[in-house]
Amino acid sequence: MMMNLEWRWSLANGWFWGSLILFAVILGFSLWNAHQRRWAARYVFLEAWRCVLALAVVAAVAKPETWWEASPNEPTRFLVLTDHSASMETKDMPLASGELGSRRAWLGEQESWQTEIGPQVILEAIDFESPESGVTDLHAVLMEAGARDTDLGGIILFSDGDWNAGSAPQDAALALRRKGLPVIAVAAGREEALPDVSLTWLPMPKTTVVDEPTRLPFRLENRFPREVEVTVTFRVDAQDTDELTVLLEPGEVRQEAFLWKPTEEAEYTLGVEIPVLPGETREDNNADDVSMTVRRDRLRVLLVDSEPRWEFRFLRNALMRDPGVEVSCLLYHPHPEMGMGQGPGYLEAFPESMDGLTGYDVVFLGDVGVGERELTEEQLGWLRGLVERQASGLVFLPGRRGGQERLLRSPMADLFPVVLEESAAATGVQESQPAVLELTPVGRESVLALLGDDREENAVIWRSLPGFSWHAPVSRAKAGSTVLAVHESSRNRYGRLPLLVTRPFGSGKVLYLGTDGAWRWRRGVEDLYHYRFWSQVARWMAYQRKLAEGERGRIIHYPDVPMAGREVAVHATLLDHHQGPLVGAEPVLTWRLEGEESDDSAEQGTVALTGMDGGWGVYRGAFTPPRGGRYRLSVGLADGSLDLRATVEVAQPPREATGDPARPEVLRALAAATKGQYVPPESMDSLASLLEPLAELEPVVSRREWWRHPALLVFLLLGFTGYWIARKRLGLV
C-alpha cells in the first residue's frame, strides 16, 4: 500500500495574521528585555520559553493538518452469476461449429474473456436455478449477492433476462445501487421468438353455478413470422364441446373466450387445445387444463323502491320466476294513504337490525332516498356495511323522482360509482328520441353484458334492444370504476355519458344503471334478455359470498384467483347460534394443502384472525400458499363450537419454459438502475475492458487535525504553568 503525506495550513484567516503580529511584538519585547538584563542566561531562557509558547499559539491558530493518501494494491473481487434455468436451454444462439445451440452452450464457449483480465480482478463464480425447478427468481439471486460480507467491486450477470418468480428484479437493483454495486448484465439469447403458437387459459373464478353462462377466457400468441390459422377445441372432461377458428397475424397476441353453461353440480376439468403446426419449436404449450367447481346456490335478493314503476314490476316478476332466487320486496308509496306495498314476498318494514339484513346477497335500491316514509341514515349505514363487510352486491336503479340524489348526503355517497352532474336537474334528463346503450370495449368482454352466445351475436342484440327515454344526470365515472356501457350520443367534457358502471367497494360490488328503460328489452321476446341480464348481475355480485357458506357464516378470499407464492387475504363472517353476527371472538384459520400427510409439512399452517370494527362479525387474516393446488380452509374457535370449512384452488405460476424469446429489456434496466453496463451478445469481447475501471479502487484519504489534538492542549497548559512558576522563582512576579 503506497502512501503520500502532505501538510496543510489555514493561513488566509484574520486570526492567524493577528496572532502573527502579536508574536512579532512579543519577540521584540523579549529581545529588548534580555538586552536590559545584559543577556543573563536564565533570563534569556525565560524569554525564549515565552516566544516558544507564543509561536505554539500562532501555529494552533493556523490549524495545521496532515493529509495522506493510501493507494490499495489488493485485487478487486467480482461475483459472476450464471443463469442455468430452463429458458437457457433455448437453442437460438450460434455456436463455434456454425450450428444453433442452447444459450447455456453459447455461454460455455465465451469463457475466453476471463483470460484477458489482469491480476487486479478476482472472479467468484456462482450458478443459480436449474432446468428442473421451472422458476427463475432474479430478485432473490441479486439480493443474496448484495448481502454477502465479501467486499465486491460489482456483479457480472449472465442471463437471458427471463424471470417468473419473486419480486421484480428492478427492486433488487435499487438496493444494489444504494450499496454501490454495479451490475454488468450480459445478455444470452435472441429477442426474436422461435416459431411457435402458444395457448393458455387466462385467470378465471374456480367456482360457478348451475345454469349460469360462464365466460372462459384464453390467450393465443403467434410467434411465427407469417399468418397462421388455428382451430381451438374446448373440452369438458375430455369431451369435445365447442370449437373456434382464429386467424392470427405474425406476432399477434389474441384473447378469446368460450361460453359455457353447466347444467349439473360437479367437479369439471376444462381443457383447450390446438393442433401442432409444422415447424413449431414447442409442443408442450398447445393445450391447457383448469378445474372448475359447479354448484347450485339459492340467492336472497332485496328490492327496495318508492313506487311500483315498470322497472320495479318487471324486475320483481323476473326474479321471482327464477327457482334459484328468493325475492323480498320493500315498496314505499310516496302517499301515506296508500300504505306499504303488499303481496307475496313483500316486507312490512325494512329489517330492524343488521342481523336481519346480513342474509341478503344482493340489494336493488330503486328511486328511494332519505326521509319520511323512506330510508333512515341508520338503515343506509347498515346497507353500506352489508356491501363493505359482508361482500354483498348493491345495484343502484335511479328513477325520475330523483330520490337517489338525496343519498349523496348519506353514508351511501361513497358507494356511487359515478359522479352526478350538479347543474342538471335532480330528476334527470328526458330524451326527445329513444336512445340505446353502447357497450364499451370492456363491456363487450364482460359476462354481465352477455345477452347472446358469442361475441358477434351479442353485439347484434345490444344494437337491436329497444331504447330508453330517460337517463340519470350522470357526469362521469369515479376512479376505480369500470364503464360497461355509455349513451350512444350524449357526451360532455369527460366524453360519452357512462350509464352502466360497476365498482368494487370493500369486499362487495356495486352496479349503477342510469336509465329506467331496461324493462323495455322484453318487447317481442318477453324475459329472454331482460331476465338474463339481471340474473347474471345478481349471481355475479353474490359470487364472493357463495364461495364458502354454511349455517354459522361464510369464508371469502381475495383475490378471486389466488396464485402460489402470493398472499391470500381471508375474510370470515361468523354468526352466533341465533344467526346474528358473532363479535368478540378469537377465531383461528387453519389451512392445508390437500393430499399432504406430514404433520410438519410446509404446506399447512394456522393464522389468528383479527376482528374488524362495526359489529358485523367479520374477521380477517392472510396466508401465503407455497405452491399450487387445492387448499382446505377451516375457521374454528378454541372451544370447538364453530367449524366453518371451505376449499380454495390456488394456481401455480407458469413454469419457465424453453423456447421463449430473451428479455434484454430486463437486463438493460438492471444495468441502468445500478450504474452498470449492459453487454449484448455480440459485444462479449468488451467485457474484460469494462471491469478495469471498476477494479481501479479510489485511494483512501486520511486526515489528522493537529491544531485540535489533545497533545497540543497539554503542551500549552504545562508550558504556561512552568513559565509562570519560573517567573516567580526569579522574583519577576
183 and 129 part of one domain: yes
Mean pLDDT of the 8-24 span:
76
Mean pLDDT of the 672-686 span:
88
417 and 488 part of one domain: yes
425 and 559 part of one domain: no
User: Got the DSSP string for 242-297?
Assistant: EEEEEEE-TT-EEEEEEEE---S-EEEEEEEE-PPPTT-S-STTSEEEEEEEEE--
Whether 699 shows a pLDDT value over 70: the answer reads no
Q: Find the helix or strand (DSSP H, E) in which 593 lies.
A: strand 588-593
256 and 352 part of one domain: no
The pLDDT assigned to 149 comes to: 64
Confidence of residue 374 (pLDDT cuts 50, 70, 90): confident
How confident is the model over 525-560, as pLDDT tens digits? 887 888 888 888 888 888 767 665 666 788 888 887
625 and 674 part of one domain: no
How confident is the model over 706-725, as pLDDT tens digits? 777 788 778 878 888 887 88
How confident is the model over 479-520, as pLDDT tens digits? 889 999 999 888 888 889 999 999 989 888 999 999 988 989
The pLDDT assigned to 117 comes to: 76
367 and 219 part of one domain: no
Q: Which long-range contacts (CB under 8 A, 24 or more apart) does 33-42 make?
A: 42/730
**Of 199-208, 396-405, 423-432, 444-453, where does mean pLDDT reach its minimum?**
423-432
Q: What is d(CA 375, CA 378) in angstroms, rounded to the nearest whole number?
A: 8
Whether 263 shows a pLDDT value over 90: the answer reads no
How confident is the model over 99-136, as pLDDT tens digits? 888 888 998 888 777 777 777 778 888 898 887 777 78
Task: Specify burial of residue 80 (Cβ count, 10 A radius: 0-12, 13-18, 19+).
Answer: middle
507 and 636 part of one domain: no
The pLDDT assigned to 38 comes to: 78
Q: What is d(CA 81, CA 181) in angstroms, rounded to the nearest whole number?
A: 14
Domain boundary, last residue among 624, 650, 676? 650
322 and 381 part of one domain: yes
Q: Domain containing 512 — which CATH number? A: 3.40.50.880
Q: What is d(CA 393, CA 412) in angstroms, rounded to the nearest whole number?
A: 13
The pLDDT assigned to 430 comes to: 86
The pLDDT assigned to 454 comes to: 66
Mean pLDDT of the 236-251 span:
91
Between 703 and 428, name the one with better pLDDT: 428
388 and 501 part of one domain: yes
521 and 446 part of one domain: yes
The pLDDT assigned to 728 comes to: 77
368 and 496 part of one domain: yes
- Residues 296 and 324 sit within 8 Å (Cβ to Cβ): yes
Grid cell locating 472: 340519470
Task: Tell me what the pLDDT averaged over the chain comes to.
Answer: 83
Domain boundary, last residue among 514, 546, 578? 546
Q: What Rg value do the Cα atoms of the chain yield, rounded?
A: 40
- Residues 287 and 274 sit within 8 Å (Cβ to Cβ): yes
How confident is the model over 282-311, as pLDDT tens digits? 888 899 998 888 877 778 899 999 888 898
Q: Domain containing 81 — which CATH number? A: 3.40.50.410
The pLDDT assigned to 47 comes to: 80
How confident is the model over 614-629, as pLDDT tens digits? 777 889 999 999 888 8
Grid cell locating 639: 372451544
Q: Which of 577, 424, 415, 563 is nearest to 503 (CA)?
A: 415
From its phi and psi, is residue 640 left (phi > 0), alpha (psi between -120 and 50) or beta?
A: left
Count of domains observed in the chain:
5
The pLDDT assigned to 168 comes to: 86
Q: What is d(CA 657, CA 228) in angstroms, rounded to the nearest whole number?
A: 22
The pLDDT assigned to 666 comes to: 92
DSSP SS3 for 694: helix
618 and 721 part of one domain: no
Q: Domain containing 576 — which CATH number? A: 2.60.40.1930
Beta-bridge partner residues of 370:
375
Whether 2 shows a pLDDT value over 50: the answer reads no
How far, rounded to the nearest angstrom, does the alpha carbon of residue 494 sit from its chain's CA centroid? Answer: 28
- Residues 662 and 190 sit within 8 Å (Cβ to Cβ): yes
Mean pLDDT of the 589-601 span:
71
The pLDDT assigned to 546 comes to: 66
Whether 453 shows a pLDDT value over 60: the answer reads yes
User: Got the DSSP string for 125-138?
Assistant: EEEE--TTT----H
Q: Domain containing 211 — which CATH number? A: 2.60.40.10
Task: Give the domain range for residue 129.
Answer: 76-193+659-695
Confidence of residue 397 (pLDDT cuts 50, 70, 90): very high
Confidence of residue 598 (pLDDT cuts 50, 70, 90): very low
Q: What is d(CA 670, CA 676) in angstroms, rounded to the nearest whole number?
A: 8
Beta-bridge partner residues of 453:
none
Q: Which of 317, 549, 284, 304 is nearest to 412 (CA)?
A: 304
Q: Between β-strands 214-222 and 299-305, what pairing exists: parallel, antiparallel or unpaired?
A: unpaired
The pLDDT assigned to 338 comes to: 67
